[in-house]
Amino acid sequence: MSNYHIKHLEEYFKVYRKSVREPENFWGEIAEEHFVWRKHWDKVLSWDFKKPEIKWYEGAKLNITENCIDRHLFTNGDKTAILFEPNDPNEAAEHISYKELYQRVNQFANVLKDNGISKGDRVCIYLPMIPELAISLLACARIGAIHSVVFAGFSATALSTRINDSECKMVITSDGSFRGAKTIDLKGIVDEALESTPCVESVLVAKRINSNVNMKEGRDQWLQALLDKASTECAPEIMDAEDPLFILYTSGSTGKPKGMVHTTGGYMVYTAYTFKNVFNYRHNDVYWCTADIGWITGHSYIVYGPLANGATTVMFEGVPNYPDYGRFWEIVEKHKITQFYTAPTAIRALAKENLDHVDRYDLSSLKVIGSVGEPINEEAWHWYNDNVGKKNSPLVDTWWQTETGGIMLSPIPYVTPTIPTYATLPLPGVQPCLMDEKGNEIEGKQVDGRLCIKYPWPSIARTIWGDHQRYKDTYFSAYENLYFTGDGALRDTVGYYRITGRVDDVIIVSGHNLGTAPIEDAINEHPAVAESAIVGFPHDVKGNALYGYVTLKESGEGRDHDNLRKEINQIITEHIGPIAKLDKIQFTSGLPKTRSGKIMRRILRKIACNEIDNLGDISTLLNPEVVEEIINTKK
Ligand code: WTA
């Protein structure tokens, strides 16, 4: 038996060493002993980071839904697979057993087929956190369609860009969504997006808020009516291990979003294995990850990883402060949550409120608490560890990315001693290294550099949809033969890693990755704007907030700045979504540039962060005088 569940530190080191020395045996044994394959693989791994090309379990055949659903029916058919907690605490929670999940996924899969979707087709999913969201992912996987979930906070423009990029044939949405005290007209956003998406043939609409929506004849259909007529049996499409399972868009530092492509076999093995170990998962646990399925955390650690382990996974529709700041803890008490996984921005927001919101509830069911999405600062770490974990549920700070598919660096609870703000050690199979700017590996301890990975792991994204060259340029060109993460990290004296943040033009705001270029592109569409530059600056709840420097055209001069600020944020909301709104906007007569015309964001970032004492040498700039102006007019 392979050591699927690591229980002591010595065992971790032993397993880790094996995973590095004999990666193929290691991942071969895990895949063999814990999953259902319709055909065995011919080769565990073939790879070439230069091309780049990575294949895991080549030749193997499987369907991931057989692993996530069917195989649990015999032993755990009546166990709750998905526990849905609605936005409104007075609405009853819904327990969906594995048996019921099987039926609902199959019905949905049959509806997809009846509506012209088959293997390899792309289906865009734009839904709130309701059971239909998880079920629609699985229904696509059941028939081999490729799902592309777009977070239901993105705007119509952002949605249509993503639909067109991967040429989705169908969109699955709902009439609207509940978010705290608000309702959001999702169908209206979809209608607007679909004005410029010729590839979309049909739209399935789930009912959630019972609003009056416009249903376009010949294109839109109510989902429930179709499900009611569909059979609860749908044979799984047998897929190759390397067939795409899904596309998920992530922001890049330049231009349009990158459609990261994840494939089937390796993704399944890695998310299941890491779920088991990072959350110390046991059979009767009730696991809750507060992320939205619109992000990778929800894909891997609400849907696929937990279900592949036969777990009970909670889906929460609401927000942490509705009806009050105690909601998370009320849910922990109510469902006796054993593992709780959230983002630092949520922790910081909750830590600002009265402690009574936490102390009112019994959190004694918890045994592991987790963090993901951005560096967790020391204060938030301690607040979480003391008040939620009560100093006896290990806090796992998990570092990973949309591109990595699964958790890469993390303590293993009850195994790896934790240190505040450290993601600690690589999981088995992960070979991190630190590089300097010249391309040399930084060896030793107590050093910092750019975080790279030396060797493939099973859930690495295989390409960017429709743009393999960009995949190569972004991840495999900075350093020869290495995957470059875009993050900086330091390694301490015991070899623990601490992530220091992005080293590129991606800014993480409230846990959402935002590229500066798409925001600048949106602002520059304003008729009065000549040019703009976005940088991040520290914010005590969001982690980072956005600071925009904007220069106006002649036509914009003399216009009221407060009105312009509103209009600029409105344009950003339309192009990307409210998450990308700027906290501060400063109008300036110019932006500092190098002699080759490149905007010096480094200087702008320092000014935004009030670090004007060490701006470095600005004499080589094209327009050094502008720096002084910016400093003097900053509010
Ligand atoms: C950041 C989220 C510090 C990092 C799963 C990474 C983190 C980016 C952590 C990916 C962490 C994620 N500590 N930073 N524990 N987890 N990050 O694609 O900069 O939404 O590159 O995936 O978030 O964000 P993404």
Binned at pLDDT 50, 70 and 90, residue 441 comes out as very high
Residue 104 CA: distances (Å) to CA of 98, 114, 131, 399? 10, 15, 10, 33
- Is the pLDDT assigned to residue 252 strictly greater than 90? no
The answer to whether 242 and 265 have CB atoms below 8 angstroms apart is yes
Q: What is the pLDDT of residue 635?
A: 87
Write the class of the CATH domain 2-319+398-464.
alpha beta
CA of 506 from ligand 1 middle (Å) equals: 11
Average pLDDT, integer, range 53-82: 98
pLDDT in tens, 519-555: 999 999 999 999 999 999 999 999 999 999 999 998 8
In 86-219, beta strands by DSSP E: 94-97, 122-126, 146-149, 170-174, 177-179, 182-184, 202-206
The encoded tokens of residue 583 equal: 């906290």
Average pLDDT, integer, range 608-631: 89
Q: What is the pLDDT of residue 359?
A: 98
Residue 633 CA: distances (Å) to CA of 539, 553, 607? 21, 18, 11
The answer to whether 264 and 240 have CB atoms below 8 angstroms apart is yes
What residues contact 77, with CB distance under 8 A and at least 6 apart? 97, 98, 99
Q: How far apart are CA 108 and CA 294, in angstroms?
A: 19
The answer to whether 453 and 482 have CB atoms below 8 angstroms apart is yes
CA of 229 from ligand 1 middle (Å) equals: 42
**What's the distance, Cα to Cα, between the start and end of the chain in Å?**
63
Q: What is the pLDDT of residue 2?
A: 62
Q: How far apart are CA 572 and CA 5, in angstroms?
A: 46
Closest of 602, 623, 599, 597 to residue 612, by C-alpha: 602
The encoded tokens of residue 286 equal: 């009730």
Write the class of the CATH domain 506-633.
alpha beta
- Cite the DSSP H helix spans in 251-365: 265-278, 296-298, 305-308, 327-335, 344-351, 356-359
- Is the pLDDT assigned to residue 614 strictly greater than 90? no
Ligand 1 pocket check: which of 424, 499, 503 to mutate, most ligand atoms within 8 Å of Cβ?
499
Residue with tokens 């993460």: 485
Ligand 1 pocket check: which of 487, 502, 509, 514 to mutate, most ligand atoms within 8 Å of Cβ?
487
The encoded tokens of residue 359 equal: 């102390």
pLDDT in tens, 564-575: 999 999 999 999
Q: Is 489 in the pocket of ligand 1 (CB under 6 A)?
A: no
Range with the poorest average pLDDT among 30-44, 430-444, 513-527, 616-630: 616-630
The answer to whether 252 and 50 have CB atoms below 8 angstroms apart is no
Q: Which residue has the least CA distance to atom 14 on ligand 1?
A: 374
Q: How far apart are CA 292 and CA 295, in angstroms?
A: 6
Q: How far apart are CA 85 and CA 129, in angstroms?
A: 9
- Is the pLDDT assigned to residue 634 strictly greater than 80? yes
What average pLDDT does the structure give for the chain? 96
Residue with tokens 């560890």: 385
Q: Is 399 in the pocket of ligand 1 (CB under 6 A)?
A: yes
pLDDT in tens, 393-407: 999 999 999 999 999
Average pLDDT, integer, range 310-318: 98
What residues contact 287, with CB distance under 8 A and at least 6 apart? 279, 281, 306, 311, 312, 313, 314, 337, 338, 339, 341
Which sequence spans correspond to the domains of the chain?
2-319+398-464, 506-633
Q: Is 374 in the pocket of ligand 1 (CB under 6 A)?
A: yes
Q: Is the dihedral of CA 227, 231, 232, 236 positive or negative?
A: negative
Closest of 125, 119, 206 to residue 162, by C-alpha: 125
Q: Is 372 in the pocket of ligand 1 (CB under 6 A)?
A: yes
The answer to whether 243 and 38 have CB atoms below 8 angstroms apart is no
Binned at pLDDT 50, 70 and 90, residue 595 comes out as confident
Q: What is the pLDDT of residue 253?
A: 67
